[in-house]
Amino acid sequence: MTQRVLVIDDEPDIRELLELTLLRMGLETATAGTVKDGLLEIQNFQPDLCLTDMKLPDGTGFDIVRYIQREHSHVPVAVITAFGSMEGAVEALKAGAYDFVSKPVDLAKLRDLVQTALKLSQKGGPDASSGNAEYDAGSNPIIGESPAIELLKKTIAKLARSQAPVFIHGASGTGKELVAKQIHLQSPRSSGAFVPVNCGAIPESLMESEFFGHKKGSFTGAVEDKAGLFQAAHHGTLFLDEVADLPLSMQVKLLRAIQEKAVKSVGGVEEVSIDTRILSATHKNLEEEVEKGHFRQDLYYRLNVIKLDVPSLEERGNDILLLAEHFLNLIAERWQLPKAALSNESIKVLSNYPFPGNVRELENILERACTLSDGEFIEPEDLQLSSIATDVRSVVKNEPILERSLEKPDFSSGNEKEQILHALNQTRWNRTAAAKTLGMTFRQLRYRIKKYDLDQLP
Ligand SMILES: Nc1ncnc2c1ncn2[C@@H]1O[C@H](COP(=O)(O)OP(=O)(O)OP(=O)(O)O)[C@@H](O)[C@H]1O
């Protein structure tokens, strides 16, 4: 079925230009010149997408955005903003607009916007809050049923239906990258690439070329043309992780690229339009970084159109056990070994541990516990929790603080893999003998052999 686009603008020339562009894209169009007529057309024409000017004779584009949000939340609405009016664009996005184009309208950018937005109408159901009906969480679902996580999942589904930049805030290891990936996967950009960038890991001297690409010969070592991360994320999503670590010089360039929706590669002459959605995250307090002068206020304002808080693991109640189950399954799959289970004591201990390192810490604890456990069940001493946890455990069990099990092998001083390999070679790969030499059980050794892929050795 031909998709329908409604254009609301009081300038006949712009209406005509937009209508022509849309007709050439094979779309059905209707136009209106005022808020009043626009609202009528929304009801009569039932558009799949609405484009509206911000300044209208009897109101503003906000009136249209708010009405659509309230009555037809499945219809994406993009606003056309005055030249240089970034504030207007940001406010419209905050109010629920899908995206914006600034005047004079760049038709290539408009076509990109329309194509992506219409995918939403094709895929999404009538209820915007349920997100994309065809969406498949793939191999990276967000595990959890606590109210905090249910709310997070709902917000992700909603945010996936917009182009607004989202700033994801949360402590280390809470799953910020996972959240960003989910926003991408549930969005109409899911067929494009999800490009995560650790902003703190790129040397400053290479940053511009990494982000925007370079032309052959533009500097020593540039032996051929290379596309940058922005180009890689064209029609997809660029995730700027640890964004607070961007040097100030790069922040200016990034701001420009985001505002112009275009980049110029190092040594290049022309700017190239880029259609990408920007998501960013940091565990630092970005407001504080702005106050200290480490982070540009204008970039902060541009990235932080919508802020999404990812709760700490401690705030997720019983999700800890659901996550533990999930990770134990993953570990068993990865190492191709029978799944280990938590003993009742371990369940108690984990449920009361504060997890300063959040979900990542839980994953690491369980991985270590699987290598240490020598029975069917993971016992509290296999968890090797920090002293805080030991305190917690003693509180839970109402007994004195226990010493950590000392009979467990301690490899902290050396390279574990090498020591195991050495023992295996010495015993001619007699695993029982090697385990004895190493002071571990057969099961513990078996896990480690899998973990380090030693069984792949000839
Ligand atoms: N709710 C969840 N369900 C399943 N896995 C999760 C969940 N939350 C986090 N994880 C997993 O925990 C690990 C850490 O998550 P992630 O890397 O996304 O955290 P982060 O907040 O980006 O960390 P950092 O601040 O260090 O960059 C990953 O393996 C991720 O898949």
373 Cα: distance to centroid of ligand 1 (angstroms): 24
360 Cα: distance to centroid of ligand 1 (angstroms): 6
Beta carbon of 311 within 6 Å of any ligand 1 atom = no
Beta carbon of 146 within 6 Å of any ligand 1 atom = no
Work out whether strand 77-81 and strand 99-102 pair parallel, antiparallel, or are unpaired: parallel
Beta carbon of 241 within 6 Å of any ligand 1 atom = yes
Tell me, yes or no, whether 345 and 355 share the same domain: yes
Cα–Cα–Cα angle for 139, 142, 275, rounded to 5 degrees: 75
174 Cα: distance to centroid of ligand 1 (angstroms): 5
Tell me, yes or no, whether 425 and 369 share the same domain: no
172 Cα: distance to centroid of ligand 1 (angstroms): 8
Note the ipTM here: 0.97
Bridge partners, 95 (sequence order): none
| pLDDT tens-digit series, residues 155-196 | 999 899 899 999 999 999 999 999 999 999 999 999 999 999
140 Cα: distance to centroid of ligand 1 (angstroms): 10
**Is there a domain that residue 102 lies in?**
yes
Q: Ligand 1 atom 25: the closest Cα is on which residue?
A: 172
Q: Ligand 1 atom 31: the closest Cα is on which residue?
A: 178
Judged on CB neighbours under 10 Å (0-12, 13-18, 19+), 224 is exposed
Quote the tokens at residue 452: 């380090």
Q: Which domain holds residue 321?
A: 313-408
Beta carbon of 284 within 6 Å of any ligand 1 atom = no
Tell me, yes or no, whether 397 and 334 share the same domain: yes
Tell me, yes or no, whether 294 and 397 share the same domain: no
Q: Ligand 1 atom 13: the closest Cα is on which residue?
A: 360
As for how many domains the chain has, the answer is 4
178 Cα: distance to centroid of ligand 1 (angstroms): 6
Q: Ligand 1 atom 10: the closest Cα is on which residue?
A: 175
Q: Are 320 and 354 in contact (CB under 8 A)?
A: no
**Is there a domain that residue 327 lies in?**
yes
CATH of the domain at 343: 1.10.8.60
The three-state secondary structure class of 145 is coil
CATH of the domain at 417: 1.10.10.60
176 Cα: distance to centroid of ligand 1 (angstroms): 6
Beta carbon of 142 within 6 Å of any ligand 1 atom = yes
Beta carbon of 112 within 6 Å of any ligand 1 atom = no
144 Cα: distance to centroid of ligand 1 (angstroms): 12
**Is there a domain that residue 348 lies in?**
yes
Identify the CA nearest to 445 among candidates 373, 383, 366.
373
Q: Ligand 1 atom 29: the closest Cα is on which residue?
A: 360
Domain boundary among 292, 311, 330: 311
Domain boundary among 90, 123, 156: 123
Tell me, yes or no, whether 259 and 326 share the same domain: no
Alpha-helical regions (H) of 136-269 = 147-159, 176-185, 204-212, 229-232, 248-260
**Is there a domain that residue 447 lies in?**
yes
Identify the CA nearest to 58 among candidates 95, 16, 8, 92.
8
Tell me, yes or no, whether 174 and 294 share the same domain: yes
Tell me, yes or no, whether 324 and 417 share the same domain: no
Tell me, yes or no, whether 278 and 365 share the same domain: no
Tell me, yes or no, whether 387 and 420 share the same domain: no
**Is there a domain that residue 133 lies in?**
no
pLDDT number for residue 414? 58
Q: What is the pLDDT along the chain (458 residues), one digit of tens a residue?
A: 789 999 999 999 999 999 999 999 999 999 999 999 999 999 999 999 999 999 999 999 999 999 998 999 889 999 998 766 778 888 889 888 999 988 889 998 899 999 999 988 765 543 333 344 344 445 568 999 999 999 999 999 989 989 999 999 999 999 999 999 999 999 999 999 999 999 999 998 889 999 999 888 777 777 788 889 999 999 999 999 999 999 999 999 999 999 888 898 888 888 888 999 999 999 889 999 999 999 999 999 999 999 999 999 999 999 999 999 999 999 988 888 888 899 999 999 999 999 999 999 999 999 989 888 877 899 998 998 864 444 444 434 333 333 333 334 445 445 788 888 888 888 888 888 888 888 887 777 888 888 788 876 65
**Is there a domain that residue 138 lies in?**
no
Tell me, yes or no, whether 263 and 339 share the same domain: no
Tell me, yes or no, whether 19 and 115 share the same domain: yes
CATH of the domain at 166: 3.40.50.300
Judged on CB neighbours under 10 Å (0-12, 13-18, 19+), 143 is middle
Q: How many CB atoms lie within 10 A of CB 350?
A: 25
Cis peptide before 47 (omega within 30 of 0): no
Tell me, yes or no, whether 284 and 154 share the same domain: yes
pTM score, whole prediction: 0.79
Beta carbon of 196 within 6 Å of any ligand 1 atom = no
pLDDT number for residue 458? 57
173 Cα: distance to centroid of ligand 1 (angstroms): 5
Length of the chain: 458
Domain boundary among 282, 311, 340: 311
pLDDT number for residue 421? 87
Work out whether strand 262-263 and strand 272-273 pair parallel, antiparallel, or are unpaired: antiparallel
**Is there a domain that residue 445 lies in?**
yes
- Which of 359, 361, 364, 366 has most ligand 1 atoms within 8 Å of its beta carbon, as the pocket-test mutant? 359
**Is there a domain that residue 140 lies in?**
no
Quote the tokens at residue 232: 């890689």
